[in-house]
Amino acid sequence: MTVIENKNARNVIRVLTPVILTAVAVLCALFASDGRKYAVITVIVTLLTLILFLSGFDSKRIGSRRLVLGAVFVTLAVAGRFIPQLKPLTALVIISGMFTGAETGFLVGAAAVLISNIFFGNGPWTPLQMVGMGLIGFFAGVFSKPLQKKKIALIIYGVLSGVFYSMFMDIWTTCSATGSLLLSDYLKSVAAALPFTAIYSVSNVIYLLLLEPPFHRKLGRIREKYGL
Amino acid sequence: MIWFKSCNPYITLLYFLSVTALSAVYNNPLYTAVTLASALCMFIMCRGRGKTAFGFFMIFLLTFIVNPIISKKGATPLIFIGSDPITLEALIYGLNSASLIAAVLFLFYCFTDITDSEKLMYMLSPFSASFALTVSAVLRFFPLYVRQAEQISEQQTAAGVRGGGSIPERVRYGGRIFSALSTWALENGIVTADSMECRGYGTGRRSFYSAYGFKKSDGVFLLTEILLIAGAVIPSFFTSCTYEYYPGLRFPEVNALFITSASCYALLVFLPLIFEITDKIKWKFLLSKI
């Protein structure tokens, strides 16, 4: 696929293409629909954001060890999603972000959603889920120090990530059901999803508290053995 | 969908994205009906006979019912439930969006069926090599871990740990296996990464192997696709192609431009089926010659 030889030129194109496409897509959608078709705009914009975000990641900067560890976490997370309603996926994404860094965290979140959706059904909502879960992993990496040290920080992050993911996906629910994004409709769907949000947040916390100590130990052992 | 499966993945991606986006932007019952018809045909061809789409039908029904109940907009009330009217406009809007969602679900089912992991990698690699590597590694790890988990389970049984019995016991046993598996997996991951680096991963410029060329028929399809998208979009800048639901139902003015846009869209939606059937006829013809 490498047609352009110059590395800088390739990087510029890689970053500029999604930016220009996003602008064009938003303008087209606004013109063709009097600005009411939020669902399409949402999907296109998130898809391009995702491409922009991912194209910035360089495997040299992340390092192959962390990259493969990320892949290991994705596999474990996807395997865990087969348990209905209670999803250790988020907990494992958070743990991977905590121990392998913010960039790998985003990658793990996005990849875990993409691959588990191969089994559970991909759709227009996939890019949104990828961005949402990716951000959860990303910020787990950003706040890795307090998260590793204090249990209470872990609990708060588990609850917040559950609420964030649920509210983030409600944007899509509102858009697809009503074709517009009014604040009142959005609040209604957030309220309707409240029980699921609660279950989700609580299960996040339970899984984090259950899984964090053993993974902390296991990764500590590997760090000692291989000098990570 | 033999022909559509064998063509360049980017072309199929463009088809699915453009059809989904356009049908949602126009939100016109005529466009939706065309999309749904084509999506159903493709679903049947992808999935084979005798399979049902019960889950999709339930989602269709749910969307159809929810909108008239929630939405109070519209000028023609049909019945009143308490003081809340159920309007004709909201009903039609619900029917349209439910059909649209069903069509999109069918289309994405076909997209998932057509795009295997190899194609996914091909489409991802120019954007993010590290993401593509992660996805490819996961697809390899999956069967590896299943096999390893079976081995661990056998070893545990041989060592006298039993997994059966009550639910807490089974959960504990599952946790044991998962713990052993993840320890092994993390260590194995480090070894894999070191081995990759020893063989020169990340030292030179990356090159990509791709199994997907750009055939002549791909070019024909892509050109037709782009022309039809242009034909469906450009007229809508000069005349309204969107259907008005609120306050009253209003079909857009039927003029030459609208007819051009609608027919281009219909052709675009059925394009893979047209190519598929042409290909089949050609094949039959060649067979009969032998």
* Range with the poorest average pLDDT among A207-211, B135-139, B234-238, B244-248: B244-248
Q: Which of A19, A49, A68 to mutate to test the interface with B (most CBs of B within 10 A)?
A: A68
pLDDT at A44: 73
Q: A67 and chain B: CB distance < 8 Å anywhere? A: yes
Name chain A contacts of B208, Cβ cutoff 8 Å. 1-2
pLDDT at A186: 80
Q: Is the pLDDT of residue A100 over 70?
A: yes
Q: Which residues from chain B sit within 8 angstroms of residue A39, using beta carbons?
A: 24
> B189 and A68: CB-CB below 8 Å?
yes
What's the pLDDT score for residue A11?
Answer: 62
Return the DSSP state at B84: E
Give, in order, the Cα–Cα distances in Å from B155 to each of A107, B144, B152, B160, B186: 34, 17, 5, 9, 20
| Alpha helices, DSSP H, located in A101-193 | 102-120, 126-142, 144-149, 151-178, 183-192
Whether the link from the prior residue into B247 is cis, omega within 30° of 0, is yes
Predicted confidence (pLDDT) at residue B171 exceeds the cutoff of 90: no
- Mean pLDDT (chain A, rounded): 79
Q: Cβ B109–A124 below 8 Å, yes or no?
A: no
Question: Angle, nearest 10°, between helix axes B167-198 and A64-80?
Answer: 160
**How many pairs of residues across A and B have Cβ atoms under 8 Å apart?**
157
**Rounded percentage of chain A residues whose pLDDT exceeds 90:** 23
The residue written with tokens 């993409």 in the block is A114
* pLDDT over threshold 70, residue B241: yes
Q: Using CB atoms within 10 Å of the CB of residue B147, give its burial: 0 to 12 exposed, 13 to 18 middle, 19+ buried.
A: exposed
Interface contact flag, A1 B67, Cβ < 8 Å: no
pLDDT at A21 (0 to 100):
66
Please state, rounded to an integer, the average pLDDT across all residues of chain B.
Answer: 84
> Could you report the per-residue pLDDT of B2-57, keeping only the tens digit for each?
888 888 888 998 898 889 888 877 888 899 999 999 999 988 888 766 566 777 78
| A188 contacts B185? CB cut-off 8 A | no
Could you give all domains of chain A from N- to C-terminal order, each with its CATH number? 60-226 (1.10.1760.20)
CA distance B179 to B187: 13
The string of DSSP letters for B152-166 reads HHHHHHHTT----SS
pLDDT of the residue at B223: 93
For B61-108, the pLDDT digits (tens) are: 887 887 777 776 777 777 777 777 778 888 888 888 889 888 988 888
| Length of chain B as a residue count | 290
Q: Which amino acid is at A123?
A: G
- The answer to whether A177 contacts B185, with C-beta atoms less than 8 Å apart, is no
Q: What is the DSSP string of B202-220?
A: TTS------S----HHHHH
Q: Is the pLDDT of residue A35 over 80?
A: no
Percentage of residues of chain B with pLDDT beyond 70: 96
Mean pLDDT of B233-261: 80
B128 and A64 within 8 Å at the Cβ level: the answer is: no
Task: Find the mean pLDDT for residues A62-74.
Answer: 88
Q: Do B138 and A121 touch (CB under 8 A)?
A: no
Q: Do B134 and A14 touch (CB under 8 A)?
A: no
Backbone angles phi, psi at B86, to 5 degrees: -110, 115
By Cβ distance, the residue of B134, B190, B201 closest to A74 is B134
Res A30 pLDDT > 70? no
Q: Which residues face B102 on adjacent strands? A: none
Is the CB of residue B16 less than 8 Å from the CB of residue B268? no
Arithmetic mean of pLDDT, A124-147: 88
pLDDT in tens, A75-92: 988 886 665 555 688 999
Does residue A4 have a pLDDT over 60? no
Cβ–Cβ < 8 Å for A139, A183: no
In this model, does residue B110 exceed pLDDT 70?
yes
Looking at CA atoms only, how far is residue B284 from chain A in angstroms? 34
- Rounded-to-integer distance, Cα A121 and Cα B56, Å: 11
- The predicted structure's pLDDT at residue B269: 94
Cα distance between residue B149 and residue A79, in whole Å: 12
Residues in A closer than 8 angstroms to B127, CB to CB, are 14, 51, 54-55
Predicted confidence at residue B212, as pLDDT, reads 82
Q: Name the pLDDT band for B190 (thresholds 50, 70, 90).
A: very high
Please name the amino acid found at residue B52.
T
The reported pLDDT for the residue numbered B36 is 93
Q: What is the pLDDT of residue A187?
A: 84
pLDDT over threshold 90, residue B268: yes
Helix axes A7-33, A38-55, angle to 10 degrees: 170
Which positions in chain B touch A2 (Cβ < 8 Å)?
A: 205-208
Higher pLDDT, B96 or A180: B96
